[in-house]
């Protein structure tokens, strides 16, 4: 039986818009577009193709997207201080695949963060990197689970001689020690690939490590977590021209054909916003995460990374084992319109992925709609009332969220500033 009513789909879209607008949205990999970027969705670019590079396309009719793409690349080069930018990947995983397809040869040894230690699925043997090699070694971590064990990692690099080491994570609380492994990587000809998907906006805002400056060979990222963009991927590097040409072919035709021009245009608008408001946003986001972590700890939760100040990113990780685990708690919170995801914690075996102990919280979206320290305290209380006191908090969540509707750190916020009052004709009399 096929579904007959298109209106039901339209209704579902409207329902989604209404629902998530009244939720406390804490998924660490999401964010919202500003009104200015979002209002350009659905332009004619949504219908068009532009394979190849600006000025050298395989299609005609691309003059305007060529200009937008060139301007975006120019801005990214300044923002991330790099010589090369690839903006045609349509997701972070797609960008990773473009890179792995050139730098990981069959049977190469590679080193990655394990999934429980926070590694992204595209760094996993079932994900993008696993298409190119099965010789995947986990980067050793310190007993707390959230930091690389540098000595053991250096030992393994010298012994196993990987072609690449992939840094950056999905559960990402603290910077990676790029400089500490730089010398051995250079001596052993190991390329450091840094997946900045989660922290791209914090890097752009100059409140996190600078991977390319610290020694990463290249950086991949998605553009919509702590960055303000539409959902896409990028690759940034200072590598030499010959290697870059291969990355270029990895992106097109290697891992995509058309590159979704509609979202590229929105990403270009979002990049202007990051350039103008990114520093303040990054600072506020990290502070908010630290306040939320501190408050959750005070209210009785097992917040991870406590001895290191909980977090230096937008994320907070909590062990929900005392409360029946991350899967149950994420569902309970969802029932109360607090949206986040269950997450494996570093000490857990891979088989626990469907019922992990942890939850991961990201404050970047709620920071963007203007929540500050006080609001973080209130979110911690609401989570406590729901999880520990077993209260129904949905109505209070919706009421609280209704105070934070507008997207800040954007030109929209400028537009909201009251303009100077003008004298009406009446008052002139």
Residues 94-123 close enough to bind ligand DSN by CB under 6 A: 120-121
Give CA–CA dist 417/388, Å, rounded. Answer: 41
Tell me: does residue 313 bind ligand DSN (CB under 6 A).
Answer: no
* Number of shown-chain residues binding ligand DSN (CB under 6 A): 6
Residue written as tokens 């577009």?
Answer: 33
The answer to whether 345 touches 143, Cβ cutoff 8 Å, is no
Contacts of 425 (CB under 8 A, 6+ apart): none
- The nearer residue to ligand DSN, 121 or 188, going by C-beta atoms, is 121
Task: Write down the least CB distance from residue 360 to ligand DSN, Å.
Answer: 8
The smaller minimum CB distance to ligand DSN, of residues 121 and 137, is found at 121
End-to-end Cα spacing for the chain: 71
CA count, 13 A, side-chain hemisphere, 198: 28
* Pick from 234, 266, 260: nearest CA to 31: 266
Residue 90 vs 154, nearer CB to ligand DSN: 90
How far is CA 331 from its chain centroid? 22
- When the beta carbons of 92 and 162 are compared against ligand DSN, the nearer one is 92
Nearer to ligand DSN, 30 or 381 (CB): 30
Q: Which is nearer to ligand DSN, 154 or 197 (CB)?
A: 197
For the bound state, the minimum distance from the C-beta of residue 28 to ligand DSN, rounded and expressed in Å, comes to 6
Cα separation, 15 vs 24, whole angstroms: 16
29 binds ligand DSN (CB under 6 A): yes
Site for ligand DSN in 206-225 (CB under 6 A): none
Supply the DSSP string of 90-119, one letter for each residue. SSHHHHHHHHHHHH--TT-EEEE--TTTT-
Q: Judged by CB under 6 A, which of 113, 153, 170, 285 binds ligand DSN?
A: 170
Count Cβ atoms below 10 Å from residue 21 Cβ, excluding itself.
14
Q: Residues with Cβ < 8 Å from 421, sequence gap 6 or more?
A: none
Site map 339..378 versus ligand DSN, x via CB under 6 A: ----------------------------------------
| Residue carrying structure tokens 């120019």 | 74
Q: Which is nearer to ligand DSN, 181 or 366 (CB)?
A: 366
Could you tell me the smallest distance in angstroms from the CB atom of residue 93 to ligand DSN? 7
Spatial CB neighbours of 228, under 8 Å, sequence gap ≥ 6? 31, 33, 34, 37, 201, 270, 271, 273, 274, 278, 281, 368, 409, 410
Stretch 75-94: interaction string toward ligand DSN, x if CB under 6 A = -----------------x--
Report, in Å, the least distance between residue 121 CB and ligand DSN: 6
Nearest approach, Cβ of residue 92 and ligand DSN (Å): 6
| Residue 304 C-beta: closest distance to ligand DSN, Å | 16
Binders of ligand DSN in range 373-412 (CB under 6 A): none
In the bound state with ligand DSN, the residue whose beta carbon lies nearer, of 31 and 163, is 31
Contacts to ligand DSN by CB under 6 A: 28-29, 92, 120-121, 170
């Amino acid at each position: 039986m096929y579904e007959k009513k298109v209106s039901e789909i339209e209704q579902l879209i409207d329902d989604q818009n209404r629902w998530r607008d009244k939720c406390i949205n804490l998924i660490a990999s999401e964010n919202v577009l500003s009104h200015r970027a979002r209002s350009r969705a659905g332009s004619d670019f949504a219908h068009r193709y532009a394979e190849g590079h600006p000025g050298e396309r395989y299609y005609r009719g691309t003059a305007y997207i060529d200009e937008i793409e060139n301007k975006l690349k120019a801005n990214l080069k300044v923002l991330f201080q790099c010589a090369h930018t690839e903006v045609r990947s349509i997701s972070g995983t797609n960008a990773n695949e473009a890179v792995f397809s050139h730098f990981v040869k069959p049977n190469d040894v590679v080193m990655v963060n394990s999934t429980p230690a926070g590694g992204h699925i595209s760094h996993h043997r079932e994900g993008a990197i696993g298409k190119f090699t099965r010789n995947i070694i986990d980067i050793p971590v310190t007993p707390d689970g959230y930091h690389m064990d540098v000595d053991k990692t250096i030992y393994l690099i010298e012994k196993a001689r990987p072609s690449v080491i992939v840094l950056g994570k999905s559960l990402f609380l603290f910077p990676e020690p790029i400089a500490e492994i730089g010398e051995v990587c250079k001596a052993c000809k190991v390329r450091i690939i840094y997946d900045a998907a989660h922290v791209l906006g914090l890097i752009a805002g100059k409140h996190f490590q600078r991977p390319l400056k610290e020694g990463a060979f290249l950086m991949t990222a998605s553009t919509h977590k702590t960055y303000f963009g539409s959902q896409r991927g990028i690759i940034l590097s200072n590598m030499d021209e010959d290697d870059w040409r291969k990355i270029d072919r990895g992106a097109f035709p290697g891992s995509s054909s058309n590159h979704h021009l509609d979202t590229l245009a929105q990403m270009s608008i979002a990049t202007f916003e990051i350039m103008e408001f990114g520093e303040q946003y990054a600072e506020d986001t990290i502070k908010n995460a630290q306040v939320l972590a501190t408050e959750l700890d005070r209210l009785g939760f097992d917040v991870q990374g406590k001895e290191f100040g909980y977090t230096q990113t937008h994320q907070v990780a909590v062990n929900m084992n005392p409360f029946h685990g991350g899967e149950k708690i994420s569902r309970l919170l969802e029932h109360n319109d607090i949206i986040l995801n269950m997450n494996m914690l570093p000490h857990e075996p891979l088989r626990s992925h469907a019922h992990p102990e942890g939850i991961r919280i990201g404050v970047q979206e709620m920071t963007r709609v203007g929540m500050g320290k006080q609001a973080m305290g209130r979110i911690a209380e609401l989570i406590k009332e729901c999880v520990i006191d077993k209260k129904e908090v949905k109505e209070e969540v919706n009421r609280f969220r209704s105070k934070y509707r507008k997207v800040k750190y954007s030109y929209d916020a400028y537009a909201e500033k009251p303009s100077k009052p003008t004298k009406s004709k009446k008052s002139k009399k």
